[in-house]
């Protein structure tokens, strides 16, 4: 497997997303909304799935910071589509890629 995959979804490479992602992380003090822990690679999660609510994709009230563990759990419990990728890079501190 190559260490990097092209981002399937250009949304996550967009400047708008990268910008708002940072705003959410700072707003949430880089703490997980569920377990309140801080880990090296925090994810920003869409509370309402972006595919069903595209108009909320960049809405701060629909975004929250999650740690990799809770993020993976959310992804599976909500049955996110398999192409969902928050961070295409490797290095999720022991967590495999494609963990959904």
Residues near Zn ion, by CB under 5 A: 32, 34-35, 67, 70
Least Cβ distance, residue 69 to Zn ion (angstroms): 5
Q: Which is nearer to Zn ion, 67 or 92 (CB)?
A: 67
Closest CA to 42 of 57, 31, 56: 31
> Residue 2 Cβ, how far from Zn ion at the closest point, in Å?
29
Q: Nearest distance from residue 31's CB to Zn ion, in Å? A: 9
State which residue, 31 or 56, has the beta carbon closest to Zn ion: 31
CB nearer Zn ion, residue 58 or residue 70: 70
SS3 44: strand
For 38: left if phi > 0, alpha if psi spans -120 to 50, otherwise beta; the answer is: beta
55 φ, ψ (degrees, to nearest 5)? -70, -15
Rounded to whole angstroms, the Cα distance separating 93 from 95 reads 6
- The alpha carbon of 96 is separated from its chain's Cα centroid by a whole number of angstroms, namely 15
Considering beta carbons, is residue 16 or 35 the nearer one to Zn ion?
A: 35
Least separation in angstroms between CB 72 and Zn ion: 10
């Amino acid at each position: 497997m190559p260490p990097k995959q092209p981002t399937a979804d250009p949304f996550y490479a967009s400047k708008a997303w990268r910008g708002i992602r940072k705003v959410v992380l700072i707003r949430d003090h880089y703490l997980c909304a569920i377990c309140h822990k801080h880990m090296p690679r925090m994810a920003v999660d869409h509370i309402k799935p972006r595919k069903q609510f595209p108009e909320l994709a960049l809405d701060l009230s629909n975004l929250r910071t999650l740690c990799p563990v809770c993020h993976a759990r959310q992804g599976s419990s909500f049955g996110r589509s398999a192409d969902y990728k928050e961070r295409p890079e490797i290095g999720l501190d022991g967590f495999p890629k494609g963990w959904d």
